[in-house]
Chain A
């Protein structure tokens, strides 16, 4: 055989792999969406015979600790804590962990909530740095503030866990906008299946373009910004196909740090968050699966599909790139750190289905996609393959992606109708198209680059951890209206 024959073989071989990848990906998403569809339908049906207000009156509703880690959140911290204190739930506390902020975060808290220092140490059920002080508030008897030197988000969360005494630990980002009845909704699985529920996650929605008043979303709308819109589509697909779908298949791998509830006892048992982990939320969940399955315990992790948490999506290129880079690194770290679970029957759907999926499609996927594009260009340029091949490739790589995104958008529209106007769906449909023409490829590029960052970068403690907080947008761009002109004004 000649050299060019070999080249031909190689190209065809690679092409089959790449085609196979895209087609399998689409199929996998279809399966996940189907699972998500039935799960959501079940949830919605069951919700019709439940009145959340009754949980509110139940004297045995499990108590909740809402932990808010904060690093340099001076502009938004007060609003954030106030909103948390207003959540509707019978018995809960708010634990704010000031992770060595260099700005006036702590001072503002002290001022607003009349903090009083009551202890300088914290019993440590899970590892965390020593606290500098623990404060309670004179005017809110369910607020605790922990002040500690900077140690990163995972460490801050652990500190919060140490201070908390409630049944359920609920982890929240400082800039997440939590809906008032979110705690009631997230407590439901814990109440209905108290023996087995160890974690419950909420759906995260993008708040860009929505009207926000007093920490509550009053009008859901779509933003104008291109980046925000494509991310909305991306989130819809990720949540339906990623979170809810996998939860329906009993293998949720991520409970977002922006809003997630855990059984405290179980978190303490597994040693809390791993300090220094990049994707600490995913790392915790995977480790929890591992621990519980090793111990052969019956357990479930649920997703509450009814939207409960709103977050701001970054709208600047560099911020998005950095965020995706960080997510990818977190993913790599967690998967590599738990590779023993891969395809090991003992780990059930998690090890046999979810992790391989994430490994193949989310971790390696970007590489494959990128190579696909490169290969096609090269092959075309060197005349190895013809136009028909190009058409096929584009169909599989782009068109399928568009359709999958469209299905996600319309599925959401069918189930939850958070974007009530049909016109909004139309706009989202447009962005589903646009997402696959550029944004998706950019994403692959960022995520491929993440490999290099992962392997070359030694964890620069402060800098890396800083960007682990919330979204990489300047906190001052937090959307809020209704500046404080109310009761605080002196008459």
Chain B
């Protein structure tokens, strides 16, 4: 099993990193979307004819 330790270590690292990053990016990405749409909405309102 340890003969191919590099691939085992890489597989463990991939599963661990990907699980963590999925949760983290899901959380922070939702905030990014909210902020992006708020900025775009604000810009659109300010450009609208009064």
Q: Do A and B bind each other?
A: no
